[in-house]
Structure 1
Amino acid sequence: MAWRQLRERTLRFILGRPRLHRQLLAILFDAALCFAAVLIAFSLRLGVWDLVSRPIMTFAAIAIATWYPIAWRTGVYRALTRFSGARTIANLAVATGLMAIPLIVVCVIFRLPDVPRTLSVLHPIIFFLLLASSRIAIRFTMLDLLKAVDVNGKRVLVYGAGRAGQQLALSLRHEPQIHLVGFLDDDLRLHGQRLDGAPVFGSDRLREVVAEREVDEVLLAIPSASRTRRRAIIETLQKEEVYVRSLPNLTNVIEGKVTVSDLREIQIEELLGREAVAPNELLMGKTIIGRTVLVSGAGGSIGSELCRQIVQFRPSRLVLLEQSEYGLYAIEQELREFCADAGASVQIIPELANAAERSSMRRVYARYRPDTVFHAAAYKHVPLVEANPIAGLRNNIMGTLHSVEAAEEVGTTHFTLISTDKAVRPTNIMGASKRICELILQAKAAEERRGPVFSMVRFGNVLGSSGSVVPRFKEQIAQGGPITLTHRDITRYFMTIPEASQLVIQASAMAKGGEVFVLDMGEPIKIAELAYSMVRLSGLSVRDADNPDGDIEVVETGLRPGEKLYEELLIGNNPEPTNHPRIMRARENLLPWNDLHDALDELNSALRETGSSTTAVQIVSKLVPEFVPSKEWSKRCAAQTP
């Protein structure tokens, strides 16, 4: 502690001086180095160590008098010494090189008595080495002092002593606000070694190192580790309540360009612990390459990622159907930039239209005659649809019906519906509406006539989608809490948006007609545990009865209308495997088209003409017998029933 205080006082004294005083100090210091270079040069040339003699003093006076005009002209003393780098060293080399010219003139032409001519070259070389060494030493000493005493500085531990960790540590040297306390590595044989002066600890000593070294942040530099291994490491770090950041991939490591800016916060998908399966390239391109592809809801979370995946497989045309002006603009610009950078000749066509309008769908489909359709347009937020059933049912059900009919008219070959786990034994209007969308496609596929290959892909929540819990939790943590949780026992299935989109495209390619494909979502995740993990990985603690002085409180608000504790992916228990390890096929009950058609006409009348939400929900309940409306809707429907 005394040594730390001494360093702090020294640093504050130096940095507290006016810039002119620091420049004068540097000038005097360089004069001493110049004289030292004279002594070294004489001793090397003559083989005698003589501190004071007439030739030495004469040559030293000439060298110092020569140095300062050149140094001032070349800007040597305008650079900040503590930020010296390659440019500073190069500038010193130029200045000492110029210094040699007048020394050669004096020593060779005018011939100073008892001064060897070779000193005119030998002295500038030695002087340059002393100057460069002093600048480097001062720089790193000052940086270390700054890091040691900066109250706002972070003490970080790099997890991974491999190539990535070493490159990251080198980058940290240039960050005055960051102090590297050491490395942590799974190879326990490295314990006790040092890398670039920093100690290496075995990963089994994590808790001990974090406590003793007062670590504020852990930087994961293990981009080649499997997701399972990363999850195990992250779960261990959660217990230490340190802020955790990570290097995302190997690309920059291979190129040798790892910097602090490459670090990012731990992504929630890293907590899934399930390895992503590489997409089957044949399946990905089967219904896309060289075809006209239409994506409805192209500006949404799933729709936009579908577009990103599709454009990589070079369709001839990609039609972006979206009713949100900004959403359509954003994805169109992104795709055009991608095509320009990749040299892809894909025609990107934006269509601002509402799928729930039959005339708009007939116009768009007739104009572009898409070969492949991915129907992702839907209202998905359960509480909003529960509060606005007319809009939700019209957009989801009628949007699907009009799109299916338009696809049949123009001869579309593949039509894939993006469904949801909330369609299984739904307890909310949104889930029931999506189940009816599935029934529409199932009924159409069951008709014995040629037409599009209809299929549905059902999956759970995707990480990072608009309105999902992850961005909401991040925002609440940034604001200091509390985190609002509807129920501590609520669980959900999660998958990354890119992985879900790739599986949707592959499932569409495997379809024969009428399949309900179910994606392997892994194990369901408890939302409360997700919230706790996000708090701890932010370097904060959860405030509860056991820890009343914690940082972030988790508050339970109660289930919202129509919300379930647990989601399911199958109505029955008969999933069939497919050729893809992450895609299953479900064979579920359906309604004949004639029966379904009459009910849909009745529903459309309730939605468009009478505007009766109660009647509409009653019709939905008949079409989806397993639908259990919320208590509010059950009471309203019972009151309207004669």
Structure 2
Amino acid sequence: MRTRTIGLLNRRYLPRWAVLMLDIIICLISVGFTYLILEGTPLKFQTVWPFSLRTLFVLGTNAIFFYIFRTYSGIVRHSTFTDIFRVAAASFLTGITVVLFNTVYYLFEGEKIFLTTGVLLYMFFSFTLMLFLRIAVKEAYQYIRRMNIGKVKKRVLIVGMDNQTINLGRALTSESDQAFQLVGFITEDFTNKSLNVLGKPVFLTSITKDSIEFAFLLEKHRIDGVLMVRDSLSVAETNEIVEACLANKIQVFNMPSVENWNQQQNLQTQIKHIEIEDLLDRYPIEIDSAIIKNDLEDKTILVTGGAGSIGSEIVRQLALFNPRKIVVLDNAESPLYEMELYLGNTFPDLEFSTILADVRNIDRLEMIFAKFKFDLVFHAAAYKHVPLIEKNPYEAVGVNILGTVNLANLAVQHGIDKFVMISTDKAVNPTNVMGASKRAAEMYVQSLQEKIGTHTRFITTRFGNVLGSNGSVIPHFRKQIEAGGPVTVTHKDIIRYFMTIPEACQLVLQAGTMGKGGEIYVFDMGKPVRILDMAERMIKLSGFQPYKDIDIQFTGLRPGEKLYEELLSDTAQSLPTFHSKIMVSKIPAEDFYAVNEKIQAIIKATQQNSRMEVVLKIKELVPEFISQNSEFQHLDLQHQN
């Protein structure tokens, strides 16, 4: 039965011609009713026209008014007062038109074609039957929908007792077609004396993993899930509630705060499963907007890699500080076009340009720098996927090293005030080509800063993995879970630092205001996360049991992959800044000419057909680069000898 009712609900509405035909059939039935009722009375039908012609005239007149008032344009199951008015108008004017025609014919011919009583009866029957059809279809649809929704409604408790949760409860109880049935409220605030809110009970109990009382409550009231307003809870509180719910095998749903509700969307679409991102130990980042605005306002700014995960967010945040112009440069055509559409729609007053170009092409970059006269450069263009770059070291040199060299040299030549480079924690004691190539880029801009005659301030920012970036682990796990598994983890002990993209970019802008030139700023990434724990939690949050419903498989560390990442090298010292989340790494700059000579040797090696030679030259520049789980490991022994 449930499958059939869902099928009825999901069917498209009848085409307009079908609704029109139904109404005409009703009109034909009304003619029949009128004839049957009057046939046995003293009233006699006129015989000037045959019955078939009279019927055709009435139906044709009615059809004309159906067309004029478009009575067939509405969806029958969603009929409104306007739809009923159209039907009434069509029926009434049909009757008036037939009576007027009858009167005029009588004045000229002395005979009547239609019996006036019959016309009035027809008008009454046709309108009544068409009205009944619409009401019956609408009520039947609503009944089936309520019956169907009633079967699949999730019985939920709302966590907490405040204005936010009460408003959410009011919304759930006032809209009968919601997929959630509110059973009551649950709170740990034992000072709360309310026993009933919105006609629903308030349960006073602690929400913990080991709470017997909480488990009993869930079982007694057959609770399917818990609904929380995430914005009103801390990360620790959210985690505790989620752990308690997962231990009792019920679902956890998240709802934005009332002020963040999208009034254009149905409430039900805004209630979502809690996501793993909501459970990571992240805290709000505060930035000094006044200092950042002073640094960026009325400036012409270049963002390389501006259509990527980090670059696009930097562009979005830059747009809030009233720059003179933003130039978005990327070599990915489709994402760049999407960025152009986004900026045009979201920031209609922003002056911007999108440029399809490659940072390896020095001639193209020279034309761009000459044209726009940049004040600042945010360099986010890079190849970042460790296993892929391990197999393609030529590309790492081309984009991560040569691209940075090209941009840095042009920044100096054109007297650009500030150059902010986005680096990575994988540049610390690198074990892979990607991390080593980023460390080489760091070394170049640091050494260039010390070169006599350099007025551009080079600032490097270094952070770990960002949540939700292209190709990152969380979207990857999510796709694997949606496909039914297995979820693949490289190693049971692997850990990573995580930060949201907006957080990282806020700190990039803040660090950009601090730099005097040559610094490497390191961000506080919070606590590291064990990837296996994350995978297990994501499976549970999706309503499955790890290893039972969805398996987790260990695939082994990928080429160049570390078990854990570092933000500072063993020998580097870090000093605090005025921002609690930003530290400055005291890594001494090396001689520019020595660094440049080795980088040129690396670039030259890419012109040969030898990946080993390319990686060997990188190791000569970056001595702490020790390959792990890689075909390049034997080069470390060769380099040591």
- Normalising by structure 2, we get a TM-score of 0.73
Q: Give the letter for the 1:369 counterpart.
A: K
Does the CA contact (< 8 Å) of 1:154 and 1:217 recur in 2? yes
| Residues 36-55 of structure 1 mapped to structure 2, 5 A cutoff | none
Deviation at 1:192, TM superposition (A): 7.4
Match of 2:199 in 1: 197
Classify 1:206/1:334 alpha carbon distance in 2 versus 1 (closer, same or farther; 3 Å): farther
| Residues 213-612 of structure 1 mapped to structure 2, 5 A cutoff | 213-252=221-260, 259-340=267-348, 344=349, 346-543=350-547, 550-571=548-569, 572-607=571-606, 609-612=607-610
SS of equivalent residue, structure 1 residue 484: strand
Alpha-carbon deviations, 1:343-401, whole Å to 9, x = none?
x3x21111110011221221211211211111000000000000111112211000100
Does the CA contact (< 8 Å) of 1:156 and 1:218 recur in 2? yes
1:186 correspondence with 2:188: yes
- Partner Cα separation in structure 1 for residue 565 and residue 497 of structure 2: 7
Does the CA contact (< 8 Å) of 1:477 and 1:535 recur in 2? yes
Classify 1:222/1:637 alpha carbon distance in 2 versus 1 (closer, same or farther; 3 Å): closer
- Partner Cα separation in structure 2 for residue 359 and residue 434 of structure 1: 23
Alpha-carbon deviations, 1:182-229, whole Å to 9, x = none?
222232344872222322223414333333333222221253233343
- Partner Cα separation in structure 2 for residue 238 and residue 360 of structure 1: 55
- Partner Cα separation in structure 2 for residue 202 and residue 479 of structure 1: 40
- Partner Cα separation in structure 2 for residue 177 and residue 269 of structure 1: 25
For residue 211 of structure 1, the aligned residue among 216, 219, 228 is: 219
Q: Give the letter for the 1:490 counterpart.
A: I
Classify 1:625/1:475 alpha carbon distance in 2 versus 1 (closer, same or farther; 3 Å): same
Alpha-carbon deviations, 1:496-515, whole Å to 9, x = none?
10010010011011000100
Higher mean C-alpha displacement, 594-603 vs 373-382: 594-603
SS of equivalent residue, structure 2 residue 403: helix
- Partner Cα separation in structure 2 for residue 578 and residue 354 of structure 1: 35
SS of equivalent residue, structure 1 residue 312: helix
Classify 1:322/1:428 alpha carbon distance in 2 versus 1 (closer, same or farther; 3 Å): same
Classify 1:144/1:156 alpha carbon distance in 2 versus 1 (closer, same or farther; 3 Å): farther
Classify 1:517/1:380 alpha carbon distance in 2 versus 1 (closer, same or farther; 3 Å): same
Q: Give the letter for the 1:199 counterpart.
A: P
Match of 1:33 in 2: none
SS of equivalent residue, structure 1 residue 552: coil
Unpaired segments ≥5 residues, structure 1: 1-7, 16-74, 96-137, 544-549
- Partner Cα separation in structure 1 for residue 273 and residue 492 of structure 2: 25
- Partner Cα separation in structure 1 for residue 143 and residue 338 of structure 2: 49
- Partner Cα separation in structure 2 for residue 400 and residue 153 of structure 1: 56
Deviation at 1:244, TM superposition (A): 1.9
- Partner Cα separation in structure 1 for residue 75 and residue 367 of structure 2: 68
Match of 2:615 in 1: 617
Match of 1:155 in 2: 155
Classify 1:358/1:436 alpha carbon distance in 2 versus 1 (closer, same or farther; 3 Å): same
Alpha-carbon deviations, 1:431-451, whole Å to 9, x = none?
000001110111011224342
Classify 1:299/1:256 alpha carbon distance in 2 versus 1 (closer, same or farther; 3 Å): closer
- Partner Cα separation in structure 2 for residue 420 and residue 532 of structure 1: 27
Does the CA contact (< 8 Å) of 1:269 and 1:495 recur in 2? no
Q: Give the letter for the 1:623 counterpart.
A: L
Q: Give the letter for the 2:624 counterpart.
A: E
Classify 1:141/1:590 alpha carbon distance in 2 versus 1 (closer, same or farther; 3 Å): same
Higher mean C-alpha displacement, 626-635 vs 305-314: 626-635
Classify 1:333/1:515 alpha carbon distance in 2 versus 1 (closer, same or farther; 3 Å): same
Deviation at 1:253, TM superposition (A): 6.1
Alpha-carbon deviations, 1:401-430, whole Å to 9, x = none?
000011111111010110000000010000
Deviation at 1:143, TM superposition (A): 8.4
Does the CA contact (< 8 Å) of 2:178 and 2:268 recur in 1? no
Alpha-carbon deviations, 1:226-278, whole Å to 9, x = none?
33433333333332332222123442469899822222332333222332122
Classify 1:142/1:378 alpha carbon distance in 2 versus 1 (closer, same or farther; 3 Å): closer
Match of 2:38 in 1: none
- Partner Cα separation in structure 1 for residue 523 and residue 421 of structure 2: 13
Deviation at 1:164, TM superposition (A): 2.6
- Partner Cα separation in structure 2 for residue 640 and residue 425 of structure 1: 16
- Partner Cα separation in structure 1 for residue 230 and residue 163 of structure 2: 9
Root-mean-square deviation (CA, aligned residues, Å) is 3.3
Classify 1:140/1:628 alpha carbon distance in 2 versus 1 (closer, same or farther; 3 Å): same
- Partner Cα separation in structure 1 for residue 272 and residue 320 of structure 2: 26
- Partner Cα separation in structure 1 for residue 144 and residue 602 of structure 2: 75
Q: Give the letter for the 2:221 counterpart.
A: R
- Partner Cα separation in structure 2 for residue 457 and residue 567 of structure 1: 16
Deviation at 1:531, TM superposition (A): 1.0
SS of equivalent residue, structure 1 residue 320: strand
- Partner Cα separation in structure 2 for residue 280 and residue 294 of structure 1: 22
> Percent of aligned pairs with the same residue?
36
Q: Give the letter for the 2:625 counterpart.
A: F
Higher mean C-alpha displacement, 176-185 vs 441-450: 176-185
- Partner Cα separation in structure 2 for residue 464 and residue 243 of structure 1: 23
Classify 1:625/1:171 alpha carbon distance in 2 versus 1 (closer, same or farther; 3 Å): same
Higher mean C-alpha displacement, 402-411 vs 258-267: 258-267
Classify 1:380/1:439 alpha carbon distance in 2 versus 1 (closer, same or farther; 3 Å): same
Q: Give the letter for the 1:562 counterpart.
A: G
SS of equivalent residue, structure 1 residue 334: helix
SS of equivalent residue, structure 2 residue 421: strand
Unpaired segments ≥5 residues, structure 2: 10-70, 89-139, 207-212
Q: Give the letter for the 1:557 counterpart.
A: T
- Partner Cα separation in structure 1 for residue 447 and residue 522 of structure 2: 18
SS of equivalent residue, structure 1 residue 223: helix
Classify 1:188/1:400 alpha carbon distance in 2 versus 1 (closer, same or farther; 3 Å): same
Match of 2:128 in 1: none
Does the CA contact (< 8 Å) of 2:523 and 2:582 recur in 1? yes
Alpha-carbon deviations, 1:455-496, whole Å to 9, x = none?
100000000001111001111111221110001110000001
Does the CA contact (< 8 Å) of 2:576 and 2:584 recur in 1? yes
Alpha-carbon deviations, 1:85-107, whole Å to 9, x = none?
xx78xx99xx9xxxxxxxxxxxx
Match of 1:107 in 2: none
- Partner Cα separation in structure 2 for residue 283 and residue 272 of structure 1: 29
Higher mean C-alpha displacement, 314-323 vs 442-451: 442-451
Deviation at 1:635, TM superposition (A): 3.1
Q: Give the letter for the 2:389 counterpart.
A: V
Does the CA contact (< 8 Å) of 1:156 and 1:219 recur in 2? yes
Match of 1:165 in 2: 165
Match of 2:626 in 1: 628
